[in-house]
Amino acid sequence: MSIVQGLVVVLHLLGMAAILGGWFATRTSPRVHPAMLWGARSQIVTGLILVGLAEAGIGTDGEPVNHPKIGVKLVVALAVAALVEIANARQKRFNLPVAIGPGAPTPIMVAAPLVQAAAGLALLNVLVAVLWT
Ligand code: HEM
């Protein structure tokens, strides 16, 4: 493993920790934690850098890139990022005073299902990363 590839893997693992840690930190009333947002964005960037390095043969010990696996991970990661971005936008919108009133949805209600789904999909990507050999 080259030092560059190793450092990008570390950033990739920190991104995963940010997504799942952000979810865990708000688990009793799930909403978008900033760590989740930045983790989801950075997974796509660091993941694509890792693929680029692997295609260039850096840090792979000559092993070919598993394109179907990468494709699945990319689609899942895009879904994670989309869910977190939508949840964040809704959360911001419903934080405005105009949304407050009897029966109005709270920020937690509008964001929680999306945040739960994003965390579940991030976990799915960990399983794909480790178990798909
Ligand atoms: C929510 C998004 C993601 C999560 C949670 C995630 C998780 C992980 C984990 C835990 C590993 C380490 C696996 C191991 O060392 O056995 C890993 C490695 C890797 N991931 Fe991701 N990943 C995500 C998104 C992506 C994306 C979008 C790509 C590329 C398009 C990608 C490409 C890679 C590659 C190439 C490796 C191999 C690094 C190595 O040589 O060990 N990942 N990922």
68-116: pLDDT as tens digits: 999 999 999 999 999 999 999 988 887 655 555 666 666 667 789 999 9
Cα 16 to middle of ligand 1, angstroms = 9
Task: Give the range of the structural domain holding residue 69, as residue numbers without chain letter.
Answer: 3-131
The region of weakest confidence among 18-32, 36-50, 67-81 is 18-32
User: In whole angstroms, how far apart are CA 32 and each of 57, 71, 86, 93?
Assistant: 37, 26, 10, 13
> Is 43 in contact with 129 (CB distance < 8 Å)?
no
- pTM of this prediction? 0.92
- Position in ligand 1 atom list of the atom nearest CA 1: 40
The verdict on the CB of residue 42 being under 6 Å from ligand 1 is no
Cα 13 to middle of ligand 1, angstroms = 8
Residue-level length of the chain: 133
Q: How many domains does the chain have?
A: 1
> Is 40 in contact with 81 (CB distance < 8 Å)?
yes
> How distant is the alpha carbon of residue 95 from its chain centre?
23
3-state secondary structure the chain: CCHHHHHHHHHHHHHHHHHHHHHHHCCCCCCCCHHHHHHHHHHHHHHHHHHHHHHCCCCCCCCCCCHHHHHHHHHHHHHHHHHHHHHHHHHHHHCCHHHCCCCCCCHHHHHHHHHHHHHHHHHHHHHHHHHCC
Measured distance CA(3)–CA(84) in Å, rounded: 31
Region 9-30 average pLDDT: 95
The verdict on the CB of residue 44 being under 6 Å from ligand 1 is yes
**Mutation to probe ligand 1, out of 73, 75, 84, 127 (largest number of atoms < 8 A from CB):** 73
Cα 15 to middle of ligand 1, angstroms = 10
The verdict on the CB of residue 81 being under 6 Å from ligand 1 is no
Nearest CA to ligand 1 atom 31: 47
